Structure 1
Amino acid sequence: MTPNIDLESTAVIQRLQEQRLQELMLYVSEYSTYYKRIFKDYNINPMEINTLSDLNKIPVTTKEDLQKYNDDFLCVDRKKIIDYVTTSGTLGEPVTFALTDMDLDRLAYNEAISFGCAGITSDDILQLTTTIDRRFMAGLAYFLGARQLGAGIIRVGAGIPELQWDSILRFKPTYLIVVPSFLLKLIEYAHQQGINPNESGIKGAICIGESLRNEDFTLNTLASKIKEDWDISLYSTYASTEMSTAFTECEAQQGGHHQPELIIIEILDEAGKQVADGKPGELTITTLGVEAMPLIRFKTGDIVQAHSAPCSCGRNTMRLGPVIGRKKQMIKYKGTTLYPPAMYNVLNHFNDIEAFVIEIDHNSIGTDEICIKIAAQNPSEGLLQNIKDHFRAKLRVTPKIEFHDFKTIQELRFPKMSRKPVVVIDHRS
């Protein structure tokens, strides 16, 4: 690993990445059944892949490739595998990822420097409010990263506001690792119990799974509602099992910083070409330093925008803005292109909404239809009209909206074997 590489010049960062890329090509050409087959089928000499621009000579790897040829990506004997994780399967069948001891060390390093990016030090105590079991990589990564950093960690796990507050008041953590919408439940419980969140000693939250910001980095509706009642720093993160790497905001909170010693990133248009600087495209990644299952030009399916202007924190790495949406979840609705996060932002405006799911389908003439199913505290025709008006004002379209009881919505949000809530149910083939 190369600590503080993010403070070096862009030229030094590129040289390091190209050195690591050459090492990766040598490694996969010897050990990866999948990539050896790709090199042969496309007549590619991996020893000629020496620069970042040379990468475009290699075809992209897709989620479907991972699902279909999962075992062919494994580069080590199974005796070397220490940990097994699976992807969440949001857009298809879950994929198994194996990690060696070296991969777990890399995961710990990734999270330790990610915490450091957000200003967390060995003097801090972190409260983990996400699961560490159920083959979930993120919880394990947080634990390993805190351990490497030397920070304390409290493994409370998901849910149960009463237990979360008991731990906050008992152990005095300084940061929470949390899905941001859960902070609203913690605030609600605190108010019910006469607890002042602002006197809890919590300085900030490392937020996962949901966006905090608009594309211009202003706080979105969800983050604004949190800040109204709990004046803590909110740090966005972006990560996935496939890349075993996180993009985490620094104190400037202007996008998640790239960790160049761990991953190469490309942002591609529909034709597979690099987009112009500052334009949105599909994040495509090449992992560096992964032993068990390295990936080359893996298309994440996430539409993002990169920012290359210097950051006030002094790092010279590219930053990723909030995920605009999943490529496969793009919706063409009444002449407007929508992604679910834009709808989340509208729905999070309403305090009366307890939970929701968004169902996407094709109608009889082959165009997209949206049905939003909502559980509300006080469902009424007035609330329904207010929601529709807000959609019309913010997104210029009004999807179909239905009220359902909370139990029905929760059953849709938490299907059997799910590790996290399913907010979008896409019935399109």
Structure 2
Amino acid sequence: MIYNKIESANREDIEKIQLNRLKDVVKRVYNLTPFYKDKFDEMGITPDDIQSLDDIQKLPFTKKQDLRNNYPFGLFTVPMSEVVRIHSSSGTTGKPTVVGYTAHDMDVWNEVITRCFYMADMTSKDIVHNGYGYGLFTGGLGFHEAAQKMGATIIPASGGFTQRQLMLMKDFGATILCATPSFALHLAEIARKEGPEFRKEYQVRAGFFGAEPTSEGLRKEVAKVWDIDYYEVYGLSEIIGPGVSCSCNKGLGLHINEDHFYPEIIDPKTGEVLPDGEEGELVLTTITKQALPIIRYRTGDITKLHREPCACGRTFVRMESVIGRADDMLIVNGVNVFPSQVEHVIANTEGVTINYQIIVDKKGYLDKLGIVIEVDDSIEFNDVERVEKIKKELQHSLLNNLYINAVVNLVESKSIERSMGKAQRIIDKRK
């Protein structure tokens, strides 16, 4: 099923809509956001310079740091009286990147996720088990509200509590599963303990998976073990949350909802726009957002774009599954983790040095984050009570400021192996 006829419109009509909306959003940010007005003036650009879609290349990029620099509401273009929802990502000192939504923005968000649901022929008769985290992150509530507006039954299970989630999926007769792919496999691993025929106890027929990079092998394994149709959902809070794009079951890639999000692929080093089919960094411009419109946002995600019509009937441009990052961000169980954020927490903790290693591994199908940190010379390593106190303080700070659960191990000074005098900061054993 196709939810909105725009999804199968011809390219000329799509681009006409995009240009009109691009012109509007450029005027909006120029007139209402000092950050963008200063940027445009610096580059000698006015909204009148945007007369074609190609003219978007004249506009400046926006980066995550720009949102942090304008914390909390400096990039908003509406008064807070018009903001109906706030979400955010983690921050280095408790200062996250903040995103806001007007009622119109919420309607857009619900629509794009509903388009995803329609790819799986989902209806009000479905029972949706939502295993994404709820709270300030956009995952859980994004899927929740769209499913509810469709009239489907929603089970707000959130993350963790594996045995309980399996019980709810089975007893409530869930037909749709929303979760990270690694958590879906973890659920299956535990469910297998019920016996080799465990799958007969569940009614799940389709799943919507995202929030972490996923290999083709992992996607196939999730689909196979649960015997379901696998739909990959892509999104990021700065743009709207999940629903920026979604895969169908007919062709390669994820259909970008490009009547709301204008995509480009650039060379991550030069910023040069690359042609379709070439690998580079995905850049997105929100062309219908009201509270927080963003111009040419550098996502850091590496992918390719394809514009050939799909066998499903949709004509929207498709992006391939994200294969990596242009920066040093790690994604651990669906949570974005920047080593610089971890380093900031460490630097503000007494008794440890800035020599550390971040170690990411798998425990079953779930990511496991460990951080090894050297104590400084002022700490007697045999003082177990003090070392344990520092360790607990670090784990609390990481959870409180970055929303990540990490196993912290403190080691003696100069015990972390160095190469050319420098410690290897990140060890990702998942690769």
The bucket for the TM-score relative to the shorter chain is 0.7 to 0.9
CA distance in 2, matches of 1:309, 1:174: 32
Q: Size of the alignment, in residue pairs?
A: 359
- SS of residue matched to 1:73: coil
CA distance in 1, matches of 2:260, 2:308: 21
Deviations, residues 348-371 of structure 1 (Å, cap 9, x unaligned): xxxxxxxxx9999xxxxxxxx998
Identify the match of residue 113 of structure 1 among 112, 115, 118. 115
Aligned twin of 2:263: 265
Report the TM-score, using the length of structure 2 for normalisation.
0.74
Shift of 1:200: 0.9
Identify the match of residue 129 of structure 2 among 127, 130, 133. 127
Deviations, residues 126-165 of structure 1 (Å, cap 9, x unaligned): 11011222x1112111112112322221111111122212
Aligned twin of 1:298: 297
Q: Does 2:233 match 1:237? A: yes
Aligned twin of 1:216: none
The answer to whether the 8 A contact 2:264-2:284 is kept is yes
CA distance in 2, matches of 1:290, 1:299: 17
CA distance in 2, matches of 1:307, 1:316: 10
The answer to whether the 8 A contact 2:213-2:324 is kept is no
Report the TM-score, using the length of structure 1 for normalisation.
0.75
CA distance in 2, matches of 1:421, 1:6: 40
CA RMSD in angstroms, aligned pairs only: 3.4
Aligned twin of 1:388: none
CA distance in 2, matches of 1:199, 1:127: 15
CA distance in 1, matches of 2:105, 2:290: 6
Deviations, residues 194-223 of structure 1 (Å, cap 9, x unaligned): 46124411001100223344xxxxx32x23
Aligned twin of 2:274: 275
- SS of residue matched to 1:72: coil
Structure 1 unaligned segments of length 5 or more: list them: 214-218, 331-339, 345-356, 361-368, 378-407
- Listed as ranges, the matches of 1:84-99 within 5 Å are 84-89=86-91, 94-99=96-101
Evaluate the alpha carbon distance shift between residue 325 and residue 375 of structure 1 in structure 2; reply closer, same or farther with a 3 A threshold.
Answer: closer
Shift of 1:46: 0.6
Shift of 1:312: 0.9
Amino acid at match of 2:118: G
Structure 2 unaligned segments of length 5 or more: list them: 341-355, 365-391, 408-422, 427-431
Amino acid at match of 2:246: T
Deviations, residues 36-56 of structure 1 (Å, cap 9, x unaligned): 222222221112213210111
- Listed as ranges, the matches of 1:162-241 within 5 Å are 162-194=163-195, 196-213=198-215, 219-220=216-217, 222-241=218-237
Q: Does 2:245 match 1:247? A: yes
CA distance in 1, matches of 2:328, 2:131: 28
Deviations, residues 219-271 of structure 1 (Å, cap 9, x unaligned): 32x23433443211111111000111421111125211011221101111122
Amino acid at match of 1:29: Y
Aligned twin of 1:145: 146
Amino acid at match of 2:101: L
Q: Does 2:134 match 1:136? A: no
- SS of residue matched to 1:97: strand
The answer to whether the 8 A contact 1:358-1:373 is kept is no
Evaluate the alpha carbon distance shift between residue 108 and residue 422 of structure 1 in structure 2; reply closer, same or farther with a 3 A threshold.
Answer: farther
Evaluate the alpha carbon distance shift between residue 237 and residue 373 of structure 1 in structure 2; reply closer, same or farther with a 3 A threshold.
Answer: closer
Q: Does 2:37 match 1:36? A: yes
Identify the match of residue 85 of structure 2 among 54, 59, 83. 83
Shift of 1:303: 1.2
